[in-house]
Chains A and B, each alone.
Chain A
Amino acid sequence: MASLVSHPDEVKVVSKRFGMGATNIDRYCELDGYTALQKALEMQPDAIINEVKNSGLRGRGGAGFNTGLKWSFVPKQSAKPKYILCNGDESEPGTCKDRLIFEHDPHAVIEGVVIAGLAVGAHAGYIYVRGEYRYLLEIMQKAIDGAYARGFVGKNVLGSGYNFDVYWHGGAGAYEVGEESALMESLEGKRGIPRIRPPFPAVVGLWGGPTVINNVETLASVPHIINGGAEWFAKLGTPKNGGTRLFCLSGHLNRPGVYELPMGYNLKKMIYDVGGGIPNGRKLKAVVPGGSSCPLLTADEIDLPMDFDSLAKAGSMLGSGGLVAVDDTTCMVKFALRIMKFYRHESCGWCIPCREGTDWLEKTLKRFHSGGGIEKDIDNIQYLSENMLGRTFCPLGDAAALPTISIVKKFRKEFEDHLEGRPCPFEEHLVSV
C-alpha cells in the first residue's frame, strides 16, 4: 500500500521483488524463490553459518551484530527445543522498511527463517509483527499457508526429512517489545519487560530454549546470500559491512521513501541526490542517521559512508536505517522534546533511570520549550541524560539519552534562545505542543 520509489544508485537485493507480485507463491518461485532453501538443505549447518558469517551481514534491527556469528552461539546440543524468532516489531521512529518487506516479499522472510532454522537446528520459527501492521496478517497468513502447501515448511521440508514450522504472531503496541528479550516475554504472553542477561537468547531464549532473534530485513537477506554467495554479498558493501540496506528516508526531503543502497553509501549523497535534497530551498540543519535512538549529526557532519563502523566513528549509529532529515525551520528543543516524549511513553518502567529519567527529561524539556526554562535546566538535561547512559536495564535508556545529549551539545544555542520566558523562535512552524 505504501508507495514505492526508485533511484538509479539503488542495488536491489532485498527489494528486488518489491512490486512484482511476489506475495503469490508461484510468482515468488518464478523469481528464484525457495531456491536458496533447496540449496541450504544440501549444506551442512556449519557451512550455512559460515556463509552468513563471511557475507558480513550485520543485524538490521539496530545493533548491527554479525548475524552468522550470532547463530554460531547457539549450542549444538540442547535439551530444550531451539527457535528462530523474527523481529518484526519495527517501531523505531524513522523506520518503515520491514513493513515493505512483509508487504511485498513475505516469502523471503519465511525462507530466511527456515534457513536460519536449518543452520542452528531449530524446528520452529515465529514471526512477530507489530500489532499496528494488521493488514499484513492476511498477506503473511496466505504466504505461510502457501509455503506449507508446497512443502517449503512443515513436516519433511521438501522431502529432506527435516521438520520446520513457521508461525505468525501479532503484537499490540509497544516499542520496547522490539528489544530482543522483551520480545520473547511478549511472545510468551507477558508484559514486555526485558530479561536479565546473561543468559543470552542464543542459550536461553523462548520458553527456555536456545533462540536466534533477527530482524526481518536480516532474515530476508539470508536467501540472497545463500544464492549469491558470501563473497558477492560482502562485496556489495564495505569491509565488515556486507550487502545493501533498506534506508528509510524521511523528514524534510523532496523525495522521501525507502531505497535500497549499498552499505557505505555516502550520507550526503543520500540526502541530496537520492532523497532529492531539502524542499523549498531551505537548509539542512540536522540528520537522524538511523532511527530516533541515534545521536544526531549536524549538516556539516554528513559527508561519510553509511555503514556501522563509520557512523560509530562519527559518534553516532547506523541503527535501523531510519534517516530523518530536518531543515533549519525546525526547533531542536521541540525535536528533543518529541523524542523524549516518545521514550517516556515507551519506557517499560522496569528500571529507575529509564522510568524516572525519561519522565523528568520530558517534563523539563516541555517546560523549557514553552518558555519556562532556566539556565540550570540545560546542564540538568545533560546531567540526567549522562546519568542514564549505560546504567539502564536495557538499551532503551541509552536510546533516550543519546539523541538528547547530542542535541544539547550540538544545538546548545537553541536552548539558550528559549531561556527566561522567551517564546520559541520557531513556533510559527510548529504549532502545538
Chain B
Amino acid sequence: MALVVKAFFSMKFSEQFENRFVRMLAHYPTKRSVLVPTLLYAQDETGYLSPEVIHEIAERLELTDLEVENVISYYSMLTKTPRGKYNVQVCTNIACLVRGGEELLDHCKHKLGIRNKGTTADGMFSLEEVECIGACSWAPAVQVNYDFHENLTTERMDEVLDEYRAKN
C-alpha cells in the first residue's frame, strides 16, 4: 500500500529546485505560501505529482497530504498522472476559436493519433485543449510545455511537432 512506501521513500529533487525552495521560503511569512509554485517546479522535474512527491512537499510545509491534494486538484497545470514529454496545449478559446483553434486541435488529434488529454504510445506527446493562454492577438496559439507557438496554421503546426520530435 502506498502508505508504507511513503514512510520509507525520500524524494530527490535537483539542486536548483532545492535552492529555489529555500530561497522562496524566505520570501513569505508563512511556509505554505510557497506551495503552488513549489508544486509546479516539482512537477517540472518529476513529470507529475506522485503520492511520494505530494507527501514530501506536505511534510516540508507541515501540511496534510490531503491539503496538498486539495490544492493540486484546483490548478489545471498541476497533474497527478504522467503526461507525454511534450504536452501540446491547444487554445480554443474565443480569439483562437475564430481563427481556427479547433481545426488545430483536430489536426493534432489526427496527427498524433490521440484524443484530448491522451498521450502517444511512445510517451512523446500528450494533447490538451486549454483555455486562453494569453496569446489572443497572435491566434491561433499553442503552448508546448512552456513554449509559445503563435499565428499557427496546420502546416506550421506540423513543423512545430516535427521540431519537437527531432529534439528528442
A–B touching in complex (CB under 8 Å): yes
- A: which residues have CB within 8 A of B? 1-3, 81, 90-96, 98-99, 130-135, 165, 167, 169-175, 186-192, 207, 248-252, 256-258, 288, 292, 322, 324, 326-327, 330, 334-335, 338-339, 342, 345-346, 348, 430-432
Instruction: Tell me whether B61 is interfacial, beta carbon within 8 Å.
Output: yes
Instruction: Please state if B94 and A173 are interface contacts (CB–CB under 8 Å).
Output: no
Instruction: Please state if B134 and A90 are interface contacts (CB–CB under 8 Å).
Output: yes
Instruction: Please state if A135 and B95 are interface contacts (CB–CB under 8 Å).
Output: no
Closest to B93 in A: A93
Instruction: Please state if A170 and B30 are interface contacts (CB–CB under 8 Å).
Output: no
Which residue of the partner chain, among B36, B94, B131, B146, contacts A172 with CB atoms under 8 Å? B36
Instruction: Please state if B137 and A248 are interface contacts (CB–CB under 8 Å).
Output: yes
Nearest CB of B to A246, in Å: 10
Which 8 residue pairs of A and B lie closest in terms of their CB atoms, listed nearest first? A189-B35, A173-B77, A189-B32, A172-B75, A173-B76, A134-B146, A250-B136, A250-B95
Nearest CB of B to A261, in Å: 14
Q: Which of B116-166 contact A (CB under 8 A)?
A: 131-139, 143, 146-148, 150-151
A-facing mask of B30-43, CB < 8 A → 1, else 0?
A: 11111111011000
Bound Cα distance from A400 to B95, whole angstroms = 17
Bound Cα distance from A191 to B39, whole angstroms = 13
Nearest CB of A to B143, in Å: 6
Closest to A137 in B: B146
**Chain B interface residue bracket vs A:** 35 or more
Which residue of the partner chain, among B94, B132, B138, B147, contacts A256 with CB atoms under 8 Å? B138
Instruction: Please state if B136 and A322 are interface contacts (CB–CB under 8 Å).
Output: yes
Instruction: Please state if A94 and B92 are interface contacts (CB–CB under 8 Å).
Output: no
Instruction: Please state if A93 and B34 are interface contacts (CB–CB under 8 Å).
Output: no
Nearest CB of B to A138, in Å: 11
Bound Cα distance from A258 to B147, whole angstroms = 20
Bound Cα distance from A339 to B94, whole angstroms = 7
* Known interface pairs A170-B36, A173-B76; A251-B102 also in contact (CB < 8 Å): no
Residues in chain A near residue B114, CB distance under 8 A: none
Instruction: Please state if B61 and A189 are interface contacts (CB–CB under 8 Å).
Output: yes
Residues in chain B near residue A132, CB distance under 8 A: 77, 133-134, 143, 146
Bound Cα distance from A352 to B137, whole angstroms = 34
Bound Cα distance from A173 to B131, whole angstroms = 9
Bound Cα distance from A324 to B92, whole angstroms = 14
Closest to B135 in A: A96
Bound Cα distance from A191 to B61, whole angstroms = 15
Bound Cα distance from A139 to B105, whole angstroms = 30
Instruction: Tell me whether B103 is interfacial, beta carbon within 8 Å.
Output: yes
Closest to A348 in B: B74
Instruction: Please state if A189 and B139 are interface contacts (CB–CB under 8 Å).
Output: no
Residues in chain A near residue B34, CB distance under 8 A: 189
A-B interface contact total, Cβ < 8 Å: 166
Instruction: Tell me whether B11 is interfacial, beta carbon within 8 Å.
Output: no
Q: Which of B53-87 contact A (CB under 8 A)?
A: 61, 70-71, 74-78
* Known interface pairs A191-B71, A192-B74, A207-B29; A324-B98 also in contact (CB < 8 Å): yes
Bound Cα distance from A182 to B162, whole angstroms = 39
Nearest CB of A to B87, in Å: 11
Bound Cα distance from A43 to B45, whole angstroms = 47
Q: Which of B1-56 contact A (CB under 8 A)?
A: 27-37, 39-40
Interface-central residue, B61, B97, B105, by most chain A CB under 10 Å: B97
Bound Cα distance from A90 to B99, whole angstroms = 21
Instruction: Please state if B78 and A172 are interface contacts (CB–CB under 8 Å).
Output: yes
Closest to A349 in B: B74
Instruction: Please state if B36 and A171 are interface contacts (CB–CB under 8 Å).
Output: yes
Residues in chain B near residue A134, CB distance under 8 A: 146
Bound Cα distance from A203 to B148, whole angstroms = 39
Instruction: Please state if B36 and A189 are interface contacts (CB–CB under 8 Å).
Output: yes
Bound Cα distance from A49 to B24, whole angstroms = 31
Pull 19 A–B residue pairs with CB atoms less than 8 Å apart, ordered by A: A3-B138, A81-B29, A91-B131, A94-B132, A96-B136, A132-B146, A135-B148, A167-B28, A171-B75, A172-B76, A187-B33, A187-B36, A189-B33, A207-B30, A248-B136, A338-B94, A342-B131, A430-B102, A431-B106
* Known interface pairs A96-B136, A130-B134, A335-B94; A432-B77 also in contact (CB < 8 Å): no
Instruction: Please state if B106 and A170 are interface contacts (CB–CB under 8 Å).
Output: no
Bound Cα distance from A165 to B61, whole angstroms = 23
* Known interface pairs A94-B95, A288-B94; A432-B106 also in contact (CB < 8 Å): yes
Instruction: Please state if B138 and A2 are interface contacts (CB–CB under 8 Å).
Output: yes
Bound Cα distance from A249 to B136, whole angstroms = 8
Which residue of the partner chain, among A91, A207, A342, A431, contacts B134 with CB atoms under 8 Å? A91
Residues in chain B near residue A90, CB distance under 8 A: 134
* Known interface pairs A131-B40, A186-B36, A432-B105; A174-B76 also in contact (CB < 8 Å): yes
Residues in chain A near residue B151, CB distance under 8 A: 3
Nearest CB of A to B38, in Å: 9
Known contacts A96-B135, A96-B137, A335-B97; 20 further A-B pairs (Cβ under 8 A): A2-B135, A3-B138, A90-B134, A93-B136, A130-B134, A133-B134, A167-B28, A169-B37, A171-B37, A174-B76, A188-B30, A188-B32, A207-B30, A248-B136, A250-B95, A250-B99, A251-B139, A258-B137, A292-B93, A292-B94
